[in-house]
Amino acid sequence: MDRPVIAFDIETIPDPAIGRRRDGLVGTDEEVVREMVRRRVEETEGGSEYPQLPWQRVVCVCVTILDTQGCEIRHLGGAPLDERSHVEALYRLVGERAPLLVSWNGRAFDLPVLRYRALALGVAAPGFYHRKEELHVDLMYELSSHGQTRRTGLRTISELLDLPAKRFADKPVWEHVIAGQIDRVVEYCKLDTVDTLLVYLAWAHHEGRLDTHALVAAVERVRAAVTRESDEGWRPIEAALERWPAWAR
């Protein structure tokens, strides 16, 4: 591992400012978001609750950072719902650390949303672009033969690999946010980055980027980071990683 690997994930809600400006909606943020969701569900005949990517407000950005010295699970940015601080923090982190970014569907969702919102917020990212080395691995894109087969969700591949997945949230993210439960969204987002990183390690071993010894050592660093998480919801995840992956123990 010649540079840090950063698995990242974002969470979004329909942007109430767009709803007011574009559709003339009135009311509180909760009322506007609910109406935007209602209209979108009607427009897509139940296909989606969320608007087009540029109209989604970033409410959370999380990362799991792995290098040869250790692993860290982080929520980026300042106060909850401070969108600019979340977006700016990710671009700054990448500029400072020059990592390999890893995502699940980041090519089609996370990175485009971050770019759109950065444009709207005036966030500059001079250290993000024009790099010679590989910048980003989208695992969903890679594992689906570069989009040639039907794509699957992170939950499905996590279950295949016997990884804990999709804890902390029991309803759509926007519902947790308008209910004032941003802390649950943060933990949910952080777990997605941990699962994404672990899937990356399994894929890197398969591709020959890591041997079995390096894989097990990396998983131990991830598990140590999980141990430091204070929410009790992380304890089953910590236990599950004690002998993961089973074939290497």
Could you report the per-residue pLDDT of 13-69, keeping only the tens digit for each? Answer: 999 999 999 999 999 999 999 999 999 999 999 999 999 999 999 999 999 999 999
Per-residue pLDDT tens for 210-228? 999 999 999 999 999 999 9
User: Are 138 and 105 a contacting pair, CB within 8 Å?
Assistant: yes
Query: How distant, in Å, are the alpha carbons of 38, 40, 49 from that of 45?
Result: 10, 8, 10
249 pLDDT tier (thresholds 50, 70, 90) = confident
The shares of helix, strand and coil residues in the chain, as percent rounded to the nearest 5, are 55, 15, 35
**Biggest CA-to-CA distance, the chain:** 59
Radius of gyration of the chain (CA): 18
Identify the CA nearest to 165 among candidates 141, 198, 140. 198
Q: How far apart are the first and last CA of the chain?
A: 21
Architecture of the 5-248 domain? 2-Layer Sandwich (3.30)
Whole-prediction pTM:
0.95
β-pairing verdict for 100-103 and 56-66: unpaired
The residue extents of the domains of the chain are 5-248
